[in-house]
């Protein structure tokens, strides 16, 4: 997560075109992020409510449901952070009134917490790609096999949540709060310590933690998603040819395969969005560890943009599900608009009954 870590680090950013762009984007980051969060939080709640329904429970929906939970956990704590640091105060204000100790603690918590939820989301994306690939290749059918697979997926989800927290424990310890006292006012401001990435002053333990974070939580998941997404595209192409060949013979199987193909396309879009969001971020972190001044001159100016792109990725899945999944769209309309439809149906039935009674009486 991008933060204005210290006064010194911000002053060292060269006034390049990228730095100018970063400064402009920082000025609009607050309200644009709030807009995305105010859309994404309720829509992720809708995702969870629809995908967790008993009649919607299957391995794919379980992964998508807990992905929505991770997205929700990313966005909710981001709201007070962005209100305080970007809206209530000027983004480039480093006053003690803005950087109080409680808010520094909150910033530290948010940095670690969001790193964890992003890691969870990335590995759930990998699980989604792997599961879909295995499912398309599997010949095992029947309710017993489905229940067994659903149980396995729940264990995978639990493992992803737990392991993501454990893997990032060293990363949690890399960030510390430091204080700066203004000599003229004798007031103290609290900041996140500058890790001095890409310089000779970088601590070895910090360098190891950053490399571990970028590789295990960004690069490796994106590589795996790329491999299995390519495999899914190949399987999708092959199944499409086979479906067209059998269309005139077994229409029921063709319809089922058509639904599977639509689901696979939707999941591919979700996975591709992960790649577009997380792979560049992981590469920038990796390059920052080896190229001098890259962190200050490139990564920092792009930090707020990467945060917003990640938030958009957290918020957009609801639209994808509504557009690309008939089952989700139908269940959503049934759950959230059925009361109005039921009322209209009752009114229509009452009107029909009264007309019938009148006709009978005549």
Task: Give the structural domain span for 65.
Answer: 7-324
Residue 336 lies in a domain: no
Q: What is the pLDDT of residues 120-148, one digit of tens each?
A: 999 999 999 888 888 777 666 667 777 88
Q: Domain of 71: which CATH number?
A: 1.20.1070.10
Contacts 24+ apart (CB under 8 A), 10-13: 10/92, 10/300, 12/296, 13/296, 13/297, 13/300, 13/301
Structure tokens at 57: 């429970």
pLDDT of 79 over the 60 cut: yes
The answer, yes or no, to whether residue 14 has pLDDT greater than 90, is no
- pLDDT beyond 50 at 348: no
pLDDT, greater one: 340 or 333: 333
Which band of pLDDT confidence, cut at 50, 70 and 90, is reported for residue 346? Answer: very low
Q: What's the pLDDT at 196?
A: 81
- Mean pLDDT of all residues belonging to the chain: 82
Given this model, what pLDDT does residue 30 score?
93
Which letter, b or e, does each residue of 49-68 get, where b requires 16 or more Cβ atoms within 10 Å of its Cβ? bbbeeeebebbbbbbbbbbb
Neighbours of 272 (CB within 10 A): 14
Please tell me the predicted confidence (pLDDT) of residue 255: 58
Q: Is residue 355 part of a domain?
A: no
Domain assignment of residue 346, yes or no: no
Look at residue 347 in the predicted model and tell me its pLDDT. Answer: 43
**Once rounded to an integer, what is the mean pLDDT over residues 179-204?**
84
Q: What string of DSSP letters covers 342-355?
A: HHHHHHHHHHHHHH
| pLDDT for position 175 | 84
Within a domain: 43: yes
281 lies in some domain: yes
Stretch 60-66: mean pLDDT, rounded?
93
For residue 289, tell me if it sits in a domain. yes
Residue 161's pLDDT is what? Answer: 96
Instruction: Answer whether 189's CB lies under 8 Å from 99's CB.
Output: yes
State residue 148's pLDDT score.
84
In a domain, 341, yes or no: no
Q: Which two tokens stand for residue 100?
A: 């109080």
pLDDT in tens, 258-280: 666 777 788 888 888 888 899 99
Q: What is the pLDDT of residue 357?
A: 38
Tokens of 295: 């962190």
Question: In this structure, how many other beta carbons lie within 10 angstroms of the beta carbon of residue 357?
Answer: 10
Q: Among 179, 180, 26, 32, which residue's Cα sits nearest to residue 89?
A: 26
3 state DSSP class of 4: coil
pLDDT value, residue 220: 93
pTM above 0.95, yes or no: no
Q: What is the pLDDT of residue 15?
A: 64
Inform me whether the pLDDT recorded for 361 exceeds 50. no
Residue 156 has pLDDT above 90, yes or no: yes
Task: Give tens-digit pLDDT for 212-235.
Answer: 889 999 999 999 998 888 887 777
pLDDT at 202: 80
> Per the structure block, which two tokens stand in for 165?
């927290």
Domain count, the chain: 1
Report residue 191: phi and psi, to 5°.
Answer: -130, 165
- Taking CB atoms within 8 Å and a gap of at least 24, the contacts of 9-15 are 9/194, 9/296, 9/300, 10/92, 10/300, 12/296, 13/296, 13/297, 13/300, 13/301, 14/296, 14/297
Distance of alpha carbon 92 from alpha carbon 177, whole angstroms? 19
What is the chain's Cα-based Rg? Answer: 25
Question: In sequence order, what are the residues at sequence separation of 6 or more whose Cβ sits closer than 8 angstroms to the Cβ of residue 154?
Answer: 62
Residue 338 pLDDT more than 80? Answer: no
N-to-C CA span, the chain: 76
At 86 the pLDDT is 95
In a domain, 266, yes or no: yes
């Amino acid at each position: 997560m991008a933060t204005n870590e210290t006064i010194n680090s911000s002053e060292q950013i060269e006034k390049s075109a990228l730095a100018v762009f970063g400064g402009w984007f920082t000025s609009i980051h607050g309200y644009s992020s709030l807009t995305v969060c105010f859309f994404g939080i309720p829509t992720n709640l809708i995702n969870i409510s629809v995908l967790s329904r008993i009649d919607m429970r299957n391995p794919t929906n379980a992964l998508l449901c807990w992905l929505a939970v991770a997205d929700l956990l990313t966005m909710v704590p981001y709201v007070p952070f962005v209100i305080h640091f970007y809206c209530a105060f000027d983004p480039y204000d480093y006053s003690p009134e803005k950087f109080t100790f409680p808010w520094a603690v909150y910033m530290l918590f948010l940095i670690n917490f969001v790193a964890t939820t992003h890691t969870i989301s990335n590995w759930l994306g990998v699980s989604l790609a792997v599961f879909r690939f295995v499912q398309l290749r599997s010949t095992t059918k029947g309710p017993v096999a489905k229940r067994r697979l659903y149980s396995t997926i729940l264990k995978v989800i639990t493992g992803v949540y737990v392991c993501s927290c454990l893997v990032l424990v060293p990363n949690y310890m890399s960030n510390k709060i430091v204080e700066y006292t203004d000599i003229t006012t004798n007031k103290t401001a609290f900041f996140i310590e500058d890790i001095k990435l890409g310089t000779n002053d970088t601590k070895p333990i910090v360098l190891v933690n950053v490399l571990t974070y970028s590789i295990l939580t960004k690069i490796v998941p994106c590589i795996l998603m790329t491999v299995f997404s390519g495999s899914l595209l190949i399987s999708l192409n092959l199944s499409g040819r086979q479906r067209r060949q059998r269309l005139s013979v077994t229409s029921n199987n063709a319809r089922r395969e058509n639904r599977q193909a639509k689901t696979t396309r939707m999941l591919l879009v979700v996975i591709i969005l992960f790649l577009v969001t997380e792979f560049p971020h992981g590469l920038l972190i990796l390059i920052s560890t080896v190229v001098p001044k890259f962190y200050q001159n490139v990564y920092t100016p792009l930090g707020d943009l990467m945060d917003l792109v990640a938030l958009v990725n957290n918020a957009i899945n609801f639209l994808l599900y509504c557009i690309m999944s008939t089952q989700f769209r139908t269940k959503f309309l049934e759950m959230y608009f059925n009361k109005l439809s039921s009322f209209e149906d009752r009114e229509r039935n009452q009107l029909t009954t009264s007309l019938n009674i009148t006709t009978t009486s005549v």
